[in-house]
Structure 1
């Protein structure tokens, strides 16, 4: 059997395993195993709203601690060239393609240069359109080699399967980074708001005052850049933060 056939069979086997996996950790282990075989060092999975960047949600972050700290502390999350590129790219694309894109903003070029300084050679971005301005995303990065054309063809089906399965199992407090900077209490309120609870009912459920419950919900609404509570719930559900 050729190397191409072996790699294809490994990916198909991983897809089958992910579909039957019972936990996020089990899904991630299978996904991580294929990336290791492909020479890919790290990845992140999430969901974004291109019109409201504050609604960016990470379902999993597999980055080294130093890069994770830099990404959030520097504000790169708000000018990530890969996220900006999703306004133009609807298909999988590599960092090499992005570097060759002459329309890339200066801040985007600086971000790629910073990634290169950290030792990241190439990466593969797999967008998963959700309709409207919502896009699911798997972002993979390699230190050892460039992403090959074969990997660009073979990995997206695995990424889509992993993303959909993971998104269905992770919500709220399981997220590695609180979406839109929500506090733990604000996250607690979201599923209750989705059930139509009033401030008084939320207060009773969480054993807090009515005014505090109202404040938590309003803070969550503002952080999500939502005009109403209904829009807040719709945004949280569409991004996989809460589930019905």
Structure 2
């Protein structure tokens, strides 16, 4: 267990960082002391998983192999448990319940086969089925005191990345959106027409329209107003 002062200092450093990579480095250094190497920071809509936006991740080959084998390559296996517990939870806590679900035990068994002992899921409820989520995979069981520190740091990290990622760019295409689609979305949100957006991006109005329609399809938006609202709420654009 690290001192609570360490967690407080880490949170201060996270908010003090102005560059995406520096912020990720601070968080990664902190969680490594808890036996954690793999994490995912994302925005998700549990009612429409194609809207998943990964703000940051650290996945080693073992985790990629596990997700590929389990069919979770693009979907975090912990997300299915969020609706049962709206607060932060560990797999160990879920297993210690009076009536743990069968999928919790099954997931722990599969984790153990890959050398992991526990996981922490920190859901940040946005309303409805929308959540910000931080999930961390640990090589050892997560103690209660450690959980409190990790939860606080993960929450701060998530909130900071929501500010940094839209401006610096995403390491993983958010919801599958390409760079030009995001650029068109950003200008659409300011109220510009397709023609004016095209002038600013060096594209034809028809190309802008096609990018917007593609973005609507990828985010399952019914119209442009909903598209812009989703892009803001999912931290795709600032």
TM-score w.r.t. length of structure 2: 0.87
Q: Deviation digits for residues 130-177 of structure 1, max 9, x if unmatched? A: 22322111111112x111111122221221111111211111772222
Among 32, 35, 42, the alignment partner of 2:31 is 35
Equivalence for 2:175: 180
User: Is residue 2:178 matched to residue 1:163?
Assistant: no
Give secondary structure in 1 for the equivalent of 2:26: helix
Distance 1:23 1:173 in 2: 8
Question: Which moves more between the two structures, 187-196 or 117-126?
Answer: 117-126
Give secondary structure in 2 for the equivalent of 1:76: coil
* Counterparts of residues 110-121 of structure 1 (less than 5 Å): 113-121=109-117
Equivalence for 1:239: 234
Q: Which runs of 5+ in 1 are unaligned?
A: none
Distance 2:176 2:25 in 1: 28
Among 57, 61, 66, the alignment partner of 1:61 is 57
Q: What is the CA distance between 1:114 and its match in structure 2?
A: 4.3
Distance 1:113 1:207 in 2: 53
Report how many aligned residue pairs link the two structures: 237
Distance 2:159 2:92 in 1: 27
* Counterparts of residues 70-219 of structure 1 (less than 5 Å): 71=67, 75-76=71-72, 80-99=76-95, 104=101, 113-143=109-139, 145-171=140-166, 174-219=169-214
Structure 2 CA distance for partners of 1:103 and 1:209, relative to 1, 3 Å: farther
Q: Is the 8 A contact 1:21 1:27 kept in 2?
A: yes
Distance 2:150 2:54 in 1: 20
Q: Which runs of 5+ in 2 are unaligned?
A: none
Q: Is the 8 A contact 1:53 1:78 kept in 2?
A: no
Give secondary structure in 2 for the equivalent of 1:41: strand
Q: Is the 8 A contact 1:127 1:138 kept in 2?
A: yes
Structure 2 CA distance for partners of 1:112 and 1:21, relative to 1, 3 Å: same
Distance 2:189 2:68 in 1: 29
Q: Is the 8 A contact 1:122 1:141 kept in 2?
A: yes
Give secondary structure in 2 for the equivalent of 1:86: helix
Q: What is the CA distance between 1:24 and its match in structure 2?
A: 1.8
Q: Deviation digits for residues 63-113 of structure 1, max 9, x if unmatched? A: 11453476479752566431121122211111223456767576x776655
Q: Is the 8 A contact 2:7 2:153 kept in 1?
A: yes
TM-score w.r.t. length of structure 1: 0.85
Distance 1:115 1:159 in 2: 21
RMSD: 2.6
Distance 2:102 2:177 in 1: 29
